[in-house]
Amino acid sequence: MRQRLYKYFTERKWAEAFLDGEVYFRSLAYFRDYEDDDVRRDKNEGKAIFRPTNGLEINNLTQGMKSNPPGSAFEALANQEEIFVFCTSRMLNDEMRTGFGANTCVEILKIQPFCTRIRNGLRTRPGSVLFNRPVDYYDETEGGSPR
């Protein structure tokens, strides 16, 4: 089965602009603030967290001791003003439309050519890189895989 992406729009004019070749990215900070309003309920937007059940293992090299302080965790924040996001979905349904408050949806049939066009557009912005992959939601107790 052919993979497809769906872009939900809250206003038809943005969907028409998209069909005319315009792609609007929002900063990760926008989504963090959106989450702060308790809209999508991802309290860890833009964070990588490792919170082992038994606490982090801390090595005191000077005293040669190890400890696991209860409730300890490692948190890393991305520079959310410098990361830009273009959200799509692999699902087309009324639940998604309602959840996004959308009145229009565009189906992206040719995903690779779409990504190539964006990558080519980024060449004019030194240091810009396109990562296109599903969002990775994980349990905070999972080990330190690169995210």
pLDDT digits (tens, 9 = 90+) for 81-121: 888 889 899 999 998 898 888 999 999 999 999 999 999 98
Give per-residue burial for 60-70: e unless 16+ CB within 10 Å, then b: eeeeeeeeeee
pLDDT digits (tens, 9 = 90+) for 58-77: 999 999 999 999 989 888 88
State phi, psi for 6 to the nearest 5 degrees. Answer: -130, 135
pLDDT-based confidence at residue 2 (cuts at 50, 70, 90): confident
pLDDT digits (tens, 9 = 90+) for 3-50: 889 999 999 999 999 999 999 998 888 877 765 455 555 666 677 788
Asked if residue 135 has pLDDT above 90, the reply is no
Alpha-carbon distance values, 22 to 117, 121, 130 (Å): 11, 11, 16
CB atoms within 10 A of CB 31: 19
Domain boundaries, the chain: 5-48+71-122
Contact 86, 6 (CB under 8 A): no
* H or E segment to which residue 16 belongs: helix 12-19
Could you give the count of Cα atoms lying within 13 Å of 18 in the half-sphere of its Cβ? 21
The four Cα atoms 38, 101, 92, 17 give a dihedral, to 10 degrees, of -120
Of 68-72, 76-80, 131-135, give the range with the top mean pLDDT.
Answer: 68-72
- Look up the pTM and report it: 0.70
pLDDT score for 113: 93
Any idea which residue has 């408050």 for tokens?
101
